Amino acid sequence: MLALKQSTVIGVIGAGAMGAGIAQVAAQAGHQVKLYDNREGVAKSAIEGVAKQLAVLVERKKFTSEQVQQILARLHAADTLNDFSDAGLVVEAIVENIDVKKAIFDTLESVCAEGCILASNTSSISITRLAASMKHPKRMVGMHFFNPAPIMKLVEVVSGLATDIDVATCVYETALNWGKKPVYAASTPGFIVNRVARPFYAESFRLRQEQVADCATLDALLRGAGGFRMGAFELTDMIGHDVNYAVTCSVFEAYYGDFRFQPSLIQKDLVDAGYLGRKSGQGFYSYQDGAEKSEA
Ligand code: NAI
């Protein structure tokens, strides 16, 4: 199966950090995009957020203002999931919880045409399990973007046991057309990147818990000496601790409690406190009053 045509309507569910970014990527590639969130007004605000990001890109001469107007004209806030009946691909980017995701795919199967590809941006949940209760499990695939989706090139195209190879190929080719660098992955817990990254986060959190050094020192060391683009503390503040912690719990459970993937108590504390990182203004660092970041 070839890549989706530009005329294919793309649906995106969940207008948080990832959904908004994925919608932007698809609209930039020329598709009409419908973005839905179950919290009222959130899809519309997410599109306003995309407009702000694009305005910066006009200033940096990456786009002309005409191009940005065209991109924004292709982004639509959807009122209900019924608006997805004409979509050829729907990418789900809601909370990392298998039951909530399954409920969405149940509804989508009753709304979307049989040929519509149903994709999840899940970081860790089994595509095989998501597909298991579906009427047409062959069309279920992982399309896993990285944060921020408009900037990060990598997309993991994840096949569960039932995923049709043509569906995975189509998503791979489409991601290529969207300017991404896709890789195929089988559906194992955490796929590739989120599995390899677990020990990176876990060992950093242990260093902090043992008060070896402060977050800023550890982040600087991981960047400077380790060669990572970001340290574990600034990175998880960007990802969101609710999301990152849920992913760790999911991978830990899927590997039958393997110690290598054990969730961190200091991260759980942050989640319990509502200190979710950049999006809540506080995580390992503080982002109060629009400040870039300071040690919390
Ligand atoms: P987020 O918390 O920023 O956004 C999630 C959005 O989904 C919220 O706006 C929420 O209102 C909406 N939502 C929740 N339940 C819904 C439902 N039943 N119907 C419609 N909308 C619903 O989360 P984020 O960071 O965008 O993550 C979303 C998904 O993407 C998760 O599966 C996560 O694991 C995955 N992901 C996250 C990355 C990250 O760095 N944050 C990177 C790659 C994947």
Residue whose entry in the numeric block shows the structure tokens 């793309």:
10
Residue 141 sits in the same domain as residue 267:
no
SS3 content of the chain, % helix, strand, coil (to 5): 50, 15, 35
Q: Which of 186, 211, 238 is the last residue of a domain?
A: 186
How many domains are contained in the chain? Answer: 2
**Residue 203 maps to which CATH number?**
1.10.1040.50
Per the CB < 8 A criterion, the answer to whether 121 and 145 are in contact is: yes
CA distances from 87 to 4, 16, 46, 95 (A): 11, 20, 20, 21
CB atoms within 10 A of CB 55: 13
Residue 215 sits in the same domain as residue 277:
yes
The interface predicted TM-score (ipTM) is: 0.99
**Residue 122 maps to which CATH number?**
3.40.50.720
Residue 200 sits in the same domain as residue 87:
no
- Report whether residue 39 contacts ligand 1, using a CB cutoff of 6 Å: yes
- In the β-sheet with 117-120, what is the strand arrangement from edge to edge? 75-77, 33-36, 9-13, 87-92, 117-120, 140-145, 154-159, 181-186
Residue 95 in domain? yes
Structural domain that includes position 123: 9-186
Residue 161 sits in the same domain as residue 200:
no
Euclidean distance between CA atoms 22 and 15, whole angstroms: 9
Ligand 1 atom closest to Cα of residue 246:
34
Residue 111 sits in the same domain as residue 245:
no
Half-sphere exposure of 197 (CA within 13 A, CB side): 22
Q: Which of 186, 206, 238 is the last residue of a domain?
A: 186
For residue 198 the two structure tokens come to 């677990």
Euclidean distance between CA atoms 71 and 32, whole angstroms: 9
The reported pTM is: 0.95
Ligand 1 atom closest to Cα of residue 18:
26
- Report whether residue 93 contacts ligand 1, using a CB cutoff of 6 Å: yes
- Report whether residue 19 contacts ligand 1, using a CB cutoff of 6 Å: yes
pLDDT (tens, 9 = 90+) of the chain, 296 residues, equals 699 999 999 999 999 999 999 999 999 999 999 999 999 999 999 999 999 999 999 999 999 999 999 999 999 999 999 999 999 999 999 999 999 999 999 999 999 999 999 999 999 999 999 999 999 999 999 999 999 999 999 999 999 999 999 999 999 999 999 999 999 999 999 999 999 999 999 999 999 999 999 999 999 999 999 999 999 999 999 999 999 999 999 999 999 999 999 999 999 999 999 999 999 999 999 998 666 676 66
Residue 179 sits in the same domain as residue 272:
no
